[in-house]
Structure 1
Amino acid sequence: MVVEFAGGLLARSLALVADAGHMLTDAAALALAWAAVHISSRPADAKRSFGYQRLRVLATFVNGCALLFIVAWISFEAIERLLNPVAVNAQMILWIGSIGLAVNLVVYAMLSRGDSHDMNVSAATLHVLGDLLGSAAAIIAALVILWTGWLPIDPLLSLVVCALIVKSAVSLVSRSAHILMEGSPEWLDQDELRRTLEQRIPAIRDVHHVHTWSVGPHETLLTMHALVSAEADHAVVLRETKAVLAERYGITHATIQIEVEDCVDKGCGEQPQRVARS
């Protein structure tokens, strides 16, 4: 990062300076991701009864937002440079960009061996991928300038790197924000879940007040009401319901309210648009 920043100033290369700025936030992003992984492994306690898993999601959200700010800054600087081209030292850009590319390839390979389904790891990997692309863009820009002398290639390739990063960054922010807002998991169809329980467990007459949310990237929690027939064995219904939830949906933490008469809670017959929890 320090070498790229100093070299970018000396060579007057936006691609190198932008990549160095990206690396600065990436150092913080990787530190945040590492801390989140370690802290989230702590067991639940009296203050955090669900544990610390959501810290991974929070780290993902922060890293995704940081990426978007970086993209906006690089894009602004690139447009300024396109309007007012500046002579650059292409040879210096080539050497420094090559060193940056080698380092980023090693870090990217290390992160790629991590859990690809973990949003926190994905966010950290995306930061490094952005650096890798930035270094590659700097090398290409240097070669084009050396061969043709065409200066706009430096900011143009910076914009290309931004375009490659922004879609994934938006996706990470959107997914992590959905979990932080306690939205239902995107893979879970609540209507299908209700039908499955009503069909597979004969004693259940109706399933309502279904609320699902995620504590972290992997664990889904559920609360629901089950209206059962008067002669139903409540213990058996609970056991069978939890078995179906675990087997079919992977939900192992469920709170189920058994009802024999009509539900007295407000809005039982409706599936709310949002989850309200006290």
Structure 2
Amino acid sequence: MARDADRPYLTIALLLLLGFMIVEVVVGILAQSLALISDAGHMLTDVGAIALALVAMRLASRPARGSYTFGLKRVEILSAQANGVTLLLLSVWFVAEAVRRLIHPPSVHGLLVTVVAVAGIGVNLLAVWAMSKANRESLNIQGSYQHVLTDLYAFIATAVAGVLVWWTGWNRFDSLAALVVAALMLRAGIGLVRDAGRVFLEAAPRGLEPDAIAQAMHALPAVTRVDDLHVWEVTSGMPALSAHVFVELDVDCHDVRRELEAMLRDRFAISHTTIQTDHAAGGEATVMPCSLDSHGTSHCG
């Protein structure tokens, strides 16, 4: 499977970020740099995001059985939601700490901050390259990729702050860089929570408008009415649809159903469909259900 092939790329990124995160925490404490520590906090969410992505991919690949009729595919969405909430909580903490340090700035070792931040840019470039090779159709993998990409921008901001502190001696540049990092984390966290929330609330996937789908279904000549149309996402890249479709009395409703399934698959990339087709008689006032006999012949009424 494509997502199985993504595991080596995610593992490489995980090991790179985990190793550098430990270095950054130690140096951040020694240099009294909130920007470095906030970068490490963001990197922790990156490590967590990738680790959860790997675990979720393994769980989601298990076949459906028992009461879990879709398997554990939504574990990936749970992972994305957890990463988003963590980003939001960390961003609030870093904002509060940055404001405190703007009022009472500690002494910051600008040169040390700059050296570590530049090294962090290199490590994150390698991690971004590794994760760019993965298939980011999954919200889980895409969320992890966005974490790492945001961390790259954060290291750039930290490097600039380190140079300015080293050059001017004004330690508040470090706290200002931490605010930039917090803003990036807040933006990424809101995006992940929003997108994961759409899946949990069973909203139609982005790019799939239920009204447009209903019009396309109703455009088939034999279709007279489309009721109870639902379009949702089981997990990233797995849209699903259910509907109750009424067809003209003199057509084979099973042929219409197969035609609808083909149209939905080819035009909207929806292959998981549940469509109930019924004949409508007397101006659609009476429903005449379809059935197949043992010879495969369609009957109604």
- Asked if TM exceeds 0.5, the reply is yes
Residue 264 (structure 1) shift: 8.7
Residue 162 (structure 1) shift: 2.3
Residue 48 (structure 1) shift: 2.3
Counterpart Cα distance in 2 of 1:137 and 1:264: 68
Which residue number in structure 1 is paired with residue 57 of structure 2? 37
- TM-score w.r.t. structure 2 length? 0.81
Q: Which 4+ stretches in 1 moved above 3 angstroms?
A: 261-265
Residue 223 (structure 1) shift: 0.9
- Give a deviation string over 1:222-257, Cα, whole Å, max 9, x none: 111111222221221111111111111111121111
Counterpart Cα distance in 2 of 1:225 and 1:69: 43
Which residue number in structure 1 is paired with residue 261 of structure 2? 242
- TM-score w.r.t. structure 1 length? 0.88
- Which letter maps to 2:146? L
Which residue number in structure 2 is paired with residue 251 of structure 1? 270
Closer, same or farther in 2 for the Cα pair 1:21/1:196, shift >3 Å? closer
| Structure 1 residue matching 2:130: 3-state secondary structure | helix
| Structure 2 residue matching 1:259: 3-state secondary structure | strand
| Structure 1 residue matching 2:146: 3-state secondary structure | helix
| Structure 2 residue matching 1:80: 3-state secondary structure | helix
Partner residue of 1:181 out of 201, 204, 216: 201
- Give a deviation string over 1:22-79, Cα, whole Å, max 9, x none: 2233322221011112222222223322233222122111111111112111111111
Alignment of 1:68-217 (within 5 A): 68-200=88-220, 202-217=221-236
Counterpart Cα distance in 1 of 2:267 and 2:222: 19
Closer, same or farther in 2 for the Cα pair 1:138/1:193, shift >3 Å? closer
Partner residue of 2:83 out of 63, 71, 87: 63
Residues 38 and 181 of structure 2 are in contact (CA less than 8 Å); yes or no, is this contact kept in structure 1? no
Greater per-residue strand proportion: 2
Which residue number in structure 2 is paired with residue 19 of structure 1? 39
Alignment of 1:218 onto 2:261:
no
Alignment of 1:9 onto 2:29:
yes
Residues 67 and 127 of structure 1 are in contact (CA less than 8 Å); yes or no, is this contact kept in structure 2? no
Partner residue of 1:227 out of 230, 246, 253: 246
Residue 263 (structure 1) shift: 7.5
| Structure 1 residue matching 2:67: 3-state secondary structure | coil
- Give a deviation string over 1:146-171, Cα, whole Å, max 9, x none: 21111111011111222234223312
- Which letter maps to 1:255? T
RMSD: 2.0
Counterpart Cα distance in 1 of 2:188 and 2:43: 18
Deviates more, 1:138-147 or 1:216-225: 138-147
Counterpart Cα distance in 1 of 2:194 and 2:138: 15
Sequence identity of aligned pairs in percent?
35
- Which letter maps to 2:224? R
Residues 254 and 277 of structure 2 are in contact (CA less than 8 Å); yes or no, is this contact kept in structure 1? no
Residue 138 (structure 1) shift: 2.4
Q: List gaps (5 residues or longer) in structure 2.
A: 1-20, 288-301
Q: List gaps (5 residues or longer) in structure 1.
A: 266-278
Counterpart Cα distance in 2 of 1:107 and 1:211: 39
Counterpart Cα distance in 1 of 2:161 and 2:211: 53
- Which letter maps to 2:279? V
Residues 56 and 76 of structure 2 are in contact (CA less than 8 Å); yes or no, is this contact kept in structure 1? yes
Residues 77 and 196 of structure 2 are in contact (CA less than 8 Å); yes or no, is this contact kept in structure 1? yes
